[in-house]
């Protein structure tokens, strides 16, 4: 439709289908059907995820609760005697919980600084040829199955830790020697295992810091080290927090490697004690557990699940606060 | 007649094999505004960055020739780059406050140079914000995050941040090109104030801006400085044909 030179509408129309013979009101049913189908498939996939998470949660709660109900929360969560197969059985998992907490915290304290400095090195300092070696090495580290970490821990770490143990407790009458299979070994293995995650996530965060901030800091006469620690690391904080939390998640949930190097007795989490983690308790006992014992192991699973949930909620909270 | 603050002699700069600055020889007068104009990629920003050695941060840069600040060669061995950058401040095209409070943004420079005294930092922060004409807008929210300011305010904050380390020279790389016209005007007014006590070098794409605020103008083209001189003369009676074409808007 044209507007005439004096603003009078000229009512000469083309054919309603235009030049290509297509009307805008005509339904194009074939394309429409594909659109609808695609949308339905996407929705279904998303629903599967939600369903999986929901059913895991329900299942864990349904199976973890009975033991708590039968024994009482205090008896199972806050008692330290774990004798599930004794004539008069006792199901206190306090030491197991404490071991997982202590092991994770120590692994984070050891691993995160190393990981952060590695990430800083890769983004800020590494000459290109060296970075080209270090980065694939880290990716490889992430891809190694955890049981292999455990095997190497047994072969390499345990003997070293045993030597240290012999030196520390030389002449001791009371210490029960662990042969190196103890909390310290487990912490060292965990610290190494969280490195790839923490390094790559924090490296991404460091790379995302605008080049301009670095330049501005240098232009004020700050040195490179000052710029890194006072501008770049703080600017990358949300990403680094994410990295640490993911590391915590990995450390809390690790079972295989820890099972091989940590000894396996239920004990107070001290560096040279043979210890049992939440994960390793389940792995090592589920094979023969029955009745209440089995239910107690599910309770341990529920506690572990609770920790992971807590870590995730914490992460969301921190990230939201950083944004707001 | 102001004395010469910065002089470059036969300055060449290469990015790898690319010859980005070709035999640049020019003077920059103290306590005046020098505008660097020219089409994109002509080398004016590169030239600006040679004055505080920001090009050092880029790999593969090679420089020959001399750049002197108050007669001292700044590319000589043994020059302390942090002291040089303290004396020659810089403001970038994009306003880029650090992700911290307004106060900490201004105090950052003095702090990295070792100032720890709280009272003196307070003084520096207030003085710098006043000089950059942003004190009134920020004095009640010094502890608030700086990225919450508007673009124009952020840029004045960045100028205040640069002033906090007491530089003698202020380099500005298209400081208003990311701002709206009103904010730009405020920055220009600010620069006219500041030139009383600072040597200012500004890269600009806007020739009207060069006319409004600069005392001297230099025209860069393909890595060479075609012509430089007093702004009035430069625009009314350019000596070079290429300058005439450029300011007439025939290219660039």
Note whether A323 contacts B: Cβ–Cβ < 8 A. Answer: no
Confidence of residue A27 (pLDDT cuts 50, 70, 90): low
Read off the DSSP letter of residue B55: G
Tens-place pLDDT, residues B115-129: 899 999 999 999 999
Measured between beta carbons, which residues in chain A are less than 8 angstroms from residue B89?
Answer: 219-220
Residues of B contacting chain A (CB within 8 angstroms): 52, 54, 57, 81-86, 89-90, 92, 94, 96, 98-100, 108-109, 112-113, 158, 161-162, 165
Q: How far is B119 from chain A (nearest CA, A)?
A: 21
Closest residue to A215, CB basis, from B57, B100, B162: B57
Q: How many CB atoms lie within 10 A of CB B36?
A: 29
Q: Confidence band (pLDDT; 50, 70, 90) for A323?
A: low
pLDDT number for residue A264: 85
Minimum distance, in Å, between the CA of residue B57 and any CA atom of chain A: 8
Query: At A263, phi and psi to the nearest 5?
Result: 90, -70
For B166, nearest residue in chain A (alpha carbons) = A220
pLDDT band at A173 (very low <50, low <70, confident <90, very high): confident
Structure tokens given for A168: 């520390």
Say what percent of chain B tops pLDDT 90. Answer: 66
Taking contacts as CB-CB distances below 8 angstroms, the residues of chain A near B162 are 219-220
* Position A11 pLDDT exceeds 80: no
Question: pLDDT digit string (tens) for A278-295?
Answer: 999 999 999 998 899 999
Q: Which residue in the block uniquely carries the two structure tokens 């000589």?
A: B76
* Chain segment A98-115, per-residue pLDDT in tens: 999 999 999 999 999 999
- Gap from A317 CA to chain B (nearest CA, Å): 20
Cα(A74)–Cα(A292) distance, integer angstroms? 16
3-state secondary structure of B145: strand
- ipTM (interface pTM): 0.89
Domain assignments of chain A as residue spans, ordered by start: 94-323
Each residue's pLDDT tens digit, A217-270: 999 999 999 999 999 999 999 899 999 999 999 999 999 999 999 988 898 999
Contacts of A218 in chain B (CB under 8 A): 54, 57, 85
Q: How far apart are CA A83 and CA A91, in angstroms?
A: 6
Reported CATH class of domain B4-247: alpha beta
Interface of A with B in 184-223 (CB under 8 A): 210, 212-223
How far, in Å, CA of B155 to CA of B166, rounded?
Answer: 18
Tell me if B98 and A212 make a contact (CB, 8 A cut-off).
no
What integer pLDDT is reported at residue A23 of this predicted model? 72
What average pLDDT does the structure give for chain A?
A: 89
- Taking contacts as CB-CB distances below 8 angstroms, the residues of chain B near A235 are 98-99
Collect all residues with Cβ–Cβ distance below 8 Å to B177 and sequence separation of at least 6. Answer: B93, B204, B205, B206
Q: Provide the 3-class DSSP secondary structure of residue B131.
A: helix
Residue-wise pLDDT for B48-106, tens only, equals 999 999 988 888 899 999 999 998 999 999 899 999 999 999 999 999 999 999 999 99
Ramachandran area for residue B249 (φ above 0: left; ψ -120 to 50: alpha; else beta): left
- Superfamily in which the A94-323 domain is placed by CATH: MetI-like (1.10.3720.10)
């Amino acid at each position: 439709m044209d507007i005439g030179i004096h603003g009078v509408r000229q009512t000469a129309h083309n054919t309603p289908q235009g030049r290509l013979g297509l009307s805008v009101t005509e339904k194009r049913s074939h394309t429409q059907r594909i659109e609808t189908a695609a949308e339905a498939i996407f929705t279904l996939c998303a629903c599967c995820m939600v369903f999986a998470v929901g059913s895991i949660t329900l299942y864990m709660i349904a199976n973890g609760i009975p033991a708590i109900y039968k024994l009482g929360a205090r008896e199972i969560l806050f008692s330290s005697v774990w004798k599930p197969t004794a004539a008069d059985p006792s199901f206190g998992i306090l030491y197991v919980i404490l071991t997982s907490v202590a092991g994770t915290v120590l692994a984070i304290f050891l691993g995160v600084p190393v990981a952060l400095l590695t990430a800083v090195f890769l983004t800020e300092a590494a000459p290109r040829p060296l970075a080209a070696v270090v980065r694939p090495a880290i990716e490889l580290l992430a891809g190694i199955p955890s049981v292999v970490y455990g095997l190497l821990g047994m072969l390499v770490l345990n003997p070293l830790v045993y030597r240290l143990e012999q030196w520390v407790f030389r002449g001791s009458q009371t210490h029960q020697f662990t042969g190196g299979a103890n909390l310290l070994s487990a912490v060292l293995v965990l610290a190494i295992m969280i490195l790839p995650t923490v390094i790559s996530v924090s490296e991404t965060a460091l790379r995302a810091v605008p080049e301009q901030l670095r330049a501005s800091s240098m232009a004020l006469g700050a040195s490179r080290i000052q710029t890194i620690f006072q501008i770049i690391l703080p600017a990358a904080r949300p990403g680094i927090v994410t990295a640490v939390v993911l590391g915590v998640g990995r450390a809390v949930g690790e079972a295989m490697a820890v099972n091989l190097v940590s000894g396996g007795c239920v004990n107070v989490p001290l560096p040279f004690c043979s210890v049992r983690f939440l994960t390793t308790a389940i792995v090592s006992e589920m094979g023969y557990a029955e009745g209440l014992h089995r239910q107690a192991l599910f309770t341990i699973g529920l506690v572990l699940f609770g920790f992971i949930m807590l870590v995730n909620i914490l992460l969301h909270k921190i990230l939201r606060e950083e944004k707001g | 007649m102001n004395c010469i603050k910065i002089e470059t002699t036969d300055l060449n700069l290469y990015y790898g094999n690319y010859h980005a600055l070709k035999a640049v020889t020019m003077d920059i007068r103290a306590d005046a505004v020098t505008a660097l104009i020219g089409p994109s990629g002509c080398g004016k920003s590169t030239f600006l960055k040679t004055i505080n050695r920001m090009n050092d941060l880029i790999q593969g840069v090679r420089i020959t020739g001399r750049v002197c600040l108050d007669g001292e060669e700044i590319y000589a061995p043994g020059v302390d780059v942090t002291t040089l950058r303290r004396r020659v401040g810089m403001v970038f095209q994009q306003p880029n406050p650090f992700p911290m409070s307004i106060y900490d943004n201004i105090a950052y420079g003095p702090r990295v140079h070792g100032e720890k005294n709280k009272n003196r930092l307070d003084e520096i922060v207030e003085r710098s914000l006043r000089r950059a004409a942003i004190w009134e807008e920020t004095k009640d929210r010094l502890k608030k995050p700086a990225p919450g300011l508007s673009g124009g305010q952020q840029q004045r904050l960045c100028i205040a941040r640069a002033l906090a380390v007491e530089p003698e020279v202020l380099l500005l790389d298209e400081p208003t090109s990311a701002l709206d016209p009103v904010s730009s005007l405020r920055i220009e007014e600010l620069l006219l104030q500041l030139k009383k006590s600072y040597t200012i070098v500004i890269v600009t794409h806007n020739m009207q801006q060069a006319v409004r605020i600069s005392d001297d103008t230099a025209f860069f083209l393909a890595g060479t400085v075609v012509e430089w001189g007093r702004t009035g003369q430069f625009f009314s009676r350019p000596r070079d044909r290429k300058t005439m074409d450029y300011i007439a808007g025939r290219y660039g």
